[in-house]
Chains A and B, each alone.
Chain A
Amino acid sequence: MNGNLLWVAFSTIVVKEIRRFTRIWVQTLIPPAITMTLYFIIFGNLIGSRIGEMGGFDYMQYIVPGLIMMSVITNSYGNVVSSFFGTKFQRHIEELLVAPVPNWVILAGYVIGGVARGLAVGFIVTLLSLFFTDLSITHPFVTLSILFLTAVVFSLGGFINAIYANSFDDIAVVPTFILTPLTYLGGVFYSISLLPEFWQGVSQLNPILYMVNTFRYGILGVSDIDVTFAFGMIILFIAVLGGFALHLLNTGKGIRS
């Protein structure tokens, strides 16, 4: 297929993916908006007013970037894992497999679909946060690029999860037992400088810490970690996860007999 045909195939997958999560917006866009509003009210307003400052900002301002990033992470992951597993489960993955769409285009299409939902939810949560605090972006390029790259990382993660999944239980295991703990321990609600030195070291093994802190740096201008190193790590994650996902597609793991 030449470039033009590849573009049509790629945009077809992306449009299909966007159509899917907008068609079921009550399941995909509303719940994170409600959850994050509750976080803003309970943690930001009620509890946050007693906590005082964190990293030189009031607590609400401090947690808003982390909560936006948390919603981007969970929704980009959740979109791809449920969509691609559903495609496998209902066997309409065969529509793609019989067509002359290269595997990298399939992967790119699903990943951008996940990014689209992650960013859409991130945008909604950002708008909601404006009801609770003032938000000004210190480094717009860092903010937008880290948002995009993080959504890519977790869309790739969701894709790999969906390839290995054989049941609906399998697509819930990683978000419940890995993603949620890592997100909560990734500096969404606190600065790792509050932790003892040992746990600060352990926290630095958590990839989500880099994403949350880089995003916070983009908005507030403060971070617990080196932002350049964080970008390097995230790009490395994308390369490794992307390469692995493509390898799985090429070998037909979970989708070809």
Chain B
Amino acid sequence: MELALQIRGLEKTYGNGFKALKGIDLDVKQGDFFALLGPNGAGKSTTLGIVTSLVNKTNGSVSVFGHNIDTDLTKAKLCMGIVPQEFNFNFFEKVEDIVVTQAGYYGIPSAIAKERAEHYLKSLGLWDKREDRARQLSGGMKRRLMIARALVHNPKLLILDEPTAGVDIELRRSMWEFLTKINEEGTTIILTTHYLEEAESLCRNIAIIDQGDIIQNSSMKSLLAKLNNETFILDLDQDLKSVPDLEGLEARLVDEHTLEVDLPKAHGLNSVFARLSAQNIGVLSMRNKANRLEELFVELVEHKGAK
């Protein structure tokens, strides 16, 4: 399968001597929904900045759908749409004008640009706001405007740098649905986010970058399989004064009728239910406690930091 993005030996040293990238390699397959995670200052935005030609690289190579950005930048750019972390449109322009103007930069004639602007503004719930100045939009609307702008030239690769930062839960979920839909329709998506739940629920493959190095690059499934323990929260049908006996499993009371149990991966849940049942304790409902990816992320980054 063709690679949407291929990065080899990418290095970036800023003018003040700070080495933001230390020779990273990264492949993203066509059609993938890919997460690029890392703590603040790890090198995510620098990587995406180089890919989108907003940052000059120091060394290494980047190809987008086979087009090397050093020798074939125009074709590489035509394949990409970028949604940056910060708002970067003219706040005094009208919403529709921002999208149509961006299309113009890609050589799309005005009539087609207007049709596409209408399509994406409608898809993202902004059509009613098309005559408003961008500064009048709410934070979530501004983020959606940047997505519409990034898609107006129908890119094969959409890069989103923390697209849901500061967006409320309802809106975040509607954006997830939209992104899932366009990914199913064939657009490759690379996403950076601090909401690890977002990466876990949307992305099929993941890379974790820290201090300028890729410290993990695998499928989401195989990464999550590395977890040895999971924590479940059980809502009980009665108040408890003390932690019930669970045959050596770690457990604690959150409050009188809520029990938290740490469960090794190999250990089934049935024995927990059976043991509670034997003590006449019923379970009303159950949920996974922590974001699993978050645990792994912290573990990987802390482990790297300790080295």
> Hey, which bits of chain A sit against chain B, CB under 8 A?
1, 4-6, 8-9, 11-13, 15-16, 19, 23, 87, 90-92, 94-102, 252, 256-257
A-B contact pairs, 11 of them (CB 8 A): A5-B106, A5-B107, A8-B104, A8-B107, A8-B109, A95-B88, A99-B105, A100-B78, A100-B105, A252-B56, A257-B14
Which chain A residues lie closer than 8 Å to B73 at the CB level? 100
B57 to nearest A CB, angstroms?
10
A4 and B107 contacting across the interface, CB-CB below 8 Å = yes
In the assembled complex, B53 has its CB within 8 A of some CB on chain A: yes
B102 and A95 contacting across the interface, CB-CB below 8 Å = yes
A95 and B89 contacting across the interface, CB-CB below 8 Å = yes
A8 to nearest B CB, angstroms?
5
B13 to nearest A CB, angstroms?
11
Cross-chain contact of A256 among B55, B87, B105 (Cβ < 8 A): B55
| A124 CA to B69 CA, complexed, in Å | 46
B54 and A11 contacting across the interface, CB-CB below 8 Å = no
Which chain A residues lie closer than 8 Å to B74 at the CB level? 1, 100, 102
| A5 CA to B78 CA, complexed, in Å | 12
B92 and A6 contacting across the interface, CB-CB below 8 Å = no
A94 and B54 contacting across the interface, CB-CB below 8 Å = yes
A90 and B90 contacting across the interface, CB-CB below 8 Å = yes
In the assembled complex, B129 has its CB within 8 A of some CB on chain A: no
B88 and A94 contacting across the interface, CB-CB below 8 Å = yes
Which chain B residues lie closer than 8 Å to A13 at the CB level? 104-105
Using CB atoms, name the residue of chain A closest to B97.
A19
B220 to nearest A CB, angstroms?
28
Which chain B residues lie closer than 8 Å to A97 at the CB level? 52-54
A256 and B104 contacting across the interface, CB-CB below 8 Å = no
Which chain A residues lie closer than 8 Å to B54 at the CB level? 94, 97-98, 256-257
Interface size class of B (residues with CB under 8 A): 20 to 34
In the assembled complex, B231 has its CB within 8 A of some CB on chain A: no
Cross-chain contact of A98 among B53, B87, B101, B108 (Cβ < 8 A): B53
Which chain A residues lie closer than 8 Å to B106 at the CB level? 5, 9, 99-100
| A13 CA to B92 CA, complexed, in Å | 16
A244 to nearest B CB, angstroms?
19
Which chain B residues lie closer than 8 Å to A23 at the CB level? 92
Using CB atoms, name the residue of chain B closest to A24.
B92
A212 to nearest B CB, angstroms?
35
| A8 CA to B100 CA, complexed, in Å | 12
A131 to nearest B CB, angstroms?
34
A99 and B102 contacting across the interface, CB-CB below 8 Å = yes
A9 and B88 contacting across the interface, CB-CB below 8 Å = no
B89 and A92 contacting across the interface, CB-CB below 8 Å = yes
| A97 CA to B88 CA, complexed, in Å | 12
B104 and A9 contacting across the interface, CB-CB below 8 Å = yes
B84 and A94 contacting across the interface, CB-CB below 8 Å = yes
In the assembled complex, B80 has its CB within 8 A of some CB on chain A: yes
Q: CB-defined interface of B13-30 with A at 8 Å, one 1/0 digit per residue?
A: 010000000000000000
Which chain B residues lie closer than 8 Å to A16 at the CB level? 101
| A6 CA to B105 CA, complexed, in Å | 8
A188 to nearest B CB, angstroms?
34
A92 and B104 contacting across the interface, CB-CB below 8 Å = no
